[in-house]
Structure 1
Amino acid sequence: MAKSRNNLLGVGGQRKKLSRADAHGNGPARTADRKAAADQKQELVRKMRERAQAQPEQPQEDAS
């Protein structure tokens, strides 16, 4: 007997209900998350620059 192809309930997972703004990437949570991520990146870049300036330039040894 052939398998029934009519019962596809649950196939493909579930989708989150999105508001129109969220569906277009304009939701309030998205902008806050992006701002927080940008702030973290700026802080990280600042710290890396400070460390690079604090350390004197040392020639790297070649392995060859």
Structure 2
Amino acid sequence: MAKSRNNLLGVGGQRKKLSRADQHGTGLTRASGQQSADDRKQELLRKMRERTQGKQDGQQS
């Protein structure tokens, strides 16, 4: 009877440690970092489409 079955301490995983800036809502957030990654992906896709269009136009001429 030494162990308590109602003790749920530590159940549910660990939480990410937040910096003081993140706790107060200032500084770089994950959402804004993700947005810049999305922008880079869109730029890369645009460049790839331009390359494929250039190759297709060169083959048709």
Q: TM-score of the superposition, structure 1-length normalised?
A: 0.48
Structure with greater helix percent: 2
Q: TM-score of the superposition, structure 2-length normalised?
A: 0.49
